[in-house]
Amino acid sequence: MNNESTPSTLNVKQFVELELCVWEALVAGDPQADAAALTDDFVGVYEYGIFGKSEHCNLLENGPIVQHYEILDPRIIVISQRSVILIYLAEWTQPGSPDLKKMYVSSLWQESDGVWKNSFSQDTMLAD
């Protein structure tokens, strides 16, 4: 995406595609791909704590942490032409477990020098 993005040209599909990069890194157990999608000052708020970029990437040091996932009902909130929040329901499983987990995800994507990166994410787990 270039610096000429305007709120009217931003769409849900492009942010789902960006978010898929993070999920695919979790499936592949690829900390480099994960890091490439996150800003240096990334913050993630999860049921198990508040993580920075290094803590998020370190989750993958022993391999994949997601086996299968699906992004459902995605929508965006355009904050500005360079800041967009993607909100969706995620259904996913962990390697070696058949248990389906569900959570709402809010991801803030920010553009700098033509590159969109995830700067903030908050997961809200749904009760089983």
Neighbours of 17 (CB within 10 A): 10
Where residue 35 falls among pLDDT bands split at 50, 70, 90?
A: very high
State the average pLDDT over residues 1-10.
51
Q: Would you say residue 4 has pLDDT above 80?
A: no
Q: Would you say residue 128 has pLDDT above 90?
A: no
> By C-alpha distance, which of 111, 107, 78 is closest to 2?
111
In this prediction, residue 103 carries a pLDDT of 97
Q: Would you say residue 2 has pLDDT above 50?
A: no
Query: With pLDDT > 70 as the criterion, what percentage of the chain qualifies?
Result: 92
Spatial distance between the Cα atoms of 3 and 23, rounded to a whole number of angstroms: 25
**Which domains occur in the chain, in start order?**
7-125 (3.10.450.50)
Where residue 8 falls among pLDDT bands split at 50, 70, 90?
A: low
C-alpha radius of gyration, the chain, whole number? 14
Where residue 7 falls among pLDDT bands split at 50, 70, 90?
A: low
Give backbone dihedrals phi and psi of 14, rounded to 5 degrees, phi first.
-65, -30
